[in-house]
Structure 1
């Protein structure tokens, strides 16, 4: 066969769009499992406080349903539209989203509700509350991927990484003011995206050391954060270690197969707001080690599908978006489990898709829609 014949044969091949239904199924499974666990962990307190055992379940369910519809719609939109200039405003949507994230982070510092000593929520009246830091995560993923995609070869030098970091620094500083855990997640997204795009990896050891030093200094010079380290080291004797200690009791009492769904004792007021960040401890109590490992395996499968999309993405921008979402979910799962098991000092980080929080689950579903959009642009020959 001549070269011309091979070219003609290649031209006649039919390529089809790929859509990662495995990722879609895993996402829907985690959302549904989260709703079951939210009802299990919150029914007692919801009945006691609001007179309706399904109060938190219904609120989360409505937002999750809206998030699923948003995910399906976003998944059918070409992700490359986010960095193309709008014909009317002459500005890229990714830049608008980044500016909006900074605006809301400033707004929450001015008018935000102060809960447990931190301003993280904006009151929306009957609609509930809005946490701008969740919007900032998806804004950071798209913006960092966009900046890196503009000149990926500059990341071969430390100066290139510093350049990207300076673009993200305003958002990171505003978030770190009241929400160190989210700042850690976004910093991890920044480092991992740059690490993947860079051909030279050696200087990242210096970056890691610098970030650890900055984080340690930030913790030690802020009173209540330094106190959390003290509580972590003496959780059995410190009064503020009560929540973590009760969570450890829940994990220990679950055994191998758990006490049964809905049969947790620690959720009956012993673990404050057990449907939020500490929900993994109740999963361990009710479903045991078996259930906890099963959920971790589901997250690993989800991360694996994100990895597959990243390495098969049609361009660098799509690959970096998938890497950013992968990092977001992986770091958040690791931090949540580490806090619940007292492997690190306490910080307010929810379990993705499972912990109660309307803004969190909605934004996560939108992120998954964007990654599904990347998968939809992958072409394959049947």
Structure 2
């Protein structure tokens, strides 16, 4: 055990939080997967548990590998990855999977592995690093709006426009996080107001186009409309999942019905992913739910500790840009399960089943740990890195 601790660097509390969440996730995922086995009729509960464990092990490997990389490489790496991400998003839209006759063009299948990969999650991570790089490079300069349109907002909107047709909630979360990061990073507020207005107008234009040409993007706008209407209409049939989640929470009481004894997992279609928090409360009660919330708050606190100790602007913005979305996503997932927010399809980080979410969360945590493990860095060392030099060193 001592040998293991000698090889891991960075904030040990974050390592412990990740391990606790991962280990705790085994029982809820194993319990909730009975819905897929006995109701949907696919696989076995043990098989889903093994798959989840393998994904988490791969996630820990990602954390370990990424946290060993000096975080200055992420700056130039984001520039190299941005065109790759755009190509992947275009490819995803062109051949995305159709589920139940509805457009679900957010996944691509990884060859020879049989695992779906959600490219928008990778795009969001790359975009946050890219924005952090831009803000750090221009921190001591007067930002000119016209220049920032080409250097910052054109790549941002190009990525968001490619994500929007298949995944509105992810687009909204990424855009919100970017606005937050740019505000903290010192981007002029008067320009941010204009960017926000452009974003709202772009969304309205997209909705009009989708309404005018429904065959181009089947069911997407209608899905968003239904989710918003269902949030305020408890009698609507589309509110089925939320109602079952509320029943699960009410049944849980203070200490829950016990591990593996959930009833509503048999009725919630997304019991092992989007609504796993409701199953956790049903089985472990409000006490279990409170512990999960407290762990995420502790993670947020440790993120701010890392930020406080970071010696560079890029390191600070990087940790904020990739760390805060993890907490934001967890908050949205729990808010949906408790009917405080419309259904969005966001998973509970490190607990819900699903490979892409686990891997990208682990990649983000690896970057945070890389920053916390770094020695004294200078802004010049980080931002003067040429992306092509990084590619050459990697090869």
TM-score range, shorter chain: 0.7 to 0.9
Shift of 1:186: 1.2
Which residue in 2 is equivalent to 1:280? 277
Counterpart contact for 2:67–2:370, Cα < 8 Å: yes
Counterpart contact for 1:155–1:197, Cα < 8 Å: no
Q: Deviations over 1:148-191 (max 9, x none)?
A: 22212457676676552223110011011111111122112211
Shift of 1:227: 2.1
1:182-221 correspondence to structure 2 within 5 Å:
182-198=170-186, 201=189, 204=192
Secondary structure of the 1:78 match is coil
Find out whether 1:223 has 2:222 as its counterpart. Answer: yes
Shift of 1:56: 1.6
Q: 2:236 aligns with which of 212, 235, 238?
A: 238
Q: Matches of 2:297 and 2:205 in 1, distance apart?
A: 33
Q: Evaluate the alpha carbon distance shift between residue 358 and residue 199 of structure 1 in structure 2; reply closer, same or farther with a 3 A threshold.
A: closer
Which residue in 2 is equivalent to 1:131? 118
Q: Matches of 2:43 and 2:174 in 1, distance apart?
A: 38
Which residue in 1 is equivalent to 2:103? 117
Which residue in 1 is equivalent to 2:305? 308
Q: 2:287 aligns with which of 278, 287, 290?
A: 290
Q: Matches of 1:250 and 1:113 in 2, distance apart?
A: 31
Counterpart contact for 2:35–2:271, Cα < 8 Å: no
- For structure 2, which runs of at least 5 residues remain unmatched after alignment? 1-7, 212-220, 378-395
Which residue in 2 is equivalent to 1:104? 88
- The number of aligned residues is 354
Q: TM-score, normalised by structure 1?
A: 0.85
Shift of 1:296: 0.6
Shift of 1:50: 3.7
**33-42 vs 368-377, greater mean Cα deviation:** 33-42
Shift of 1:44: 5.1
Q: TM-score, normalised by structure 2?
A: 0.82
Q: Evaluate the alpha carbon distance shift between residue 352 and residue 172 of structure 1 in structure 2; reply closer, same or farther with a 3 A threshold.
A: same
Q: Matches of 1:219 and 1:81 in 2, distance apart?
A: 39
Q: Matches of 2:166 and 2:27 in 1, distance apart?
A: 31
Q: Evaluate the alpha carbon distance shift between residue 252 and residue 239 of structure 1 in structure 2; reply closer, same or farther with a 3 A threshold.
A: same
Q: Matches of 1:280 and 1:144 in 2, distance apart?
A: 32
Which residue in 1 is equivalent to 2:53? 61
Q: Matches of 2:350 and 2:207 in 1, distance apart?
A: 28
Which residue in 1 is equivalent to 2:256? 258
Q: 1:140 aligns with which of 127, 137, 141?
A: 127
- For structure 1, which runs of at least 5 residues remain unmatched after alignment? 1-16, 84-91
Which residue in 2 is equivalent to 1:151? 138
Q: Matches of 1:346 and 1:71 in 2, distance apart?
A: 30
Find out whether 1:72 has 2:64 as its counterpart. Answer: yes
Q: Matches of 2:368 and 2:145 in 1, distance apart?
A: 29
1:76-95 correspondence to structure 2 within 5 Å:
76-83=68-75, 92-95=76-79
Counterpart contact for 1:42–1:273, Cα < 8 Å: no
**151-160 vs 259-268, greater mean Cα deviation:** 151-160
**155-164 vs 98-107, greater mean Cα deviation:** 155-164
Shift of 1:316: 1.0
Shift of 1:318: 1.0
Shift of 1:204: 4.9
Q: Evaluate the alpha carbon distance shift between residue 216 and residue 342 of structure 1 in structure 2; reply closer, same or farther with a 3 A threshold.
A: farther
Q: Evaluate the alpha carbon distance shift between residue 287 and residue 218 of structure 1 in structure 2; reply closer, same or farther with a 3 A threshold.
A: farther
Q: Deviations over 1:23-53 (max 9, x none)?
A: 1111121122222211121135336624522
Counterpart contact for 1:310–1:318, Cα < 8 Å: yes
Counterpart contact for 1:114–1:120, Cα < 8 Å: no
Q: Matches of 1:44 and 1:114 in 2, distance apart?
A: 21
Name the Cα RMSD after superposition. Answer: 2.6
Which residue in 2 is equivalent to 1:21? 12
Q: Matches of 1:328 and 1:223 in 2, distance apart?
A: 27
Q: Matches of 1:255 and 1:213 in 2, distance apart?
A: 44
**131-140 vs 40-49, greater mean Cα deviation:** 40-49
Between Structure 1 and Structure 2, whose CA radius of gyration is higher? 1
Which residue in 2 is equivalent to 1:181? 169
Shift of 1:272: 0.8
Secondary structure of the 1:129 match is strand
Q: Evaluate the alpha carbon distance shift between residue 347 and residue 218 of structure 1 in structure 2; reply closer, same or farther with a 3 A threshold.
A: farther
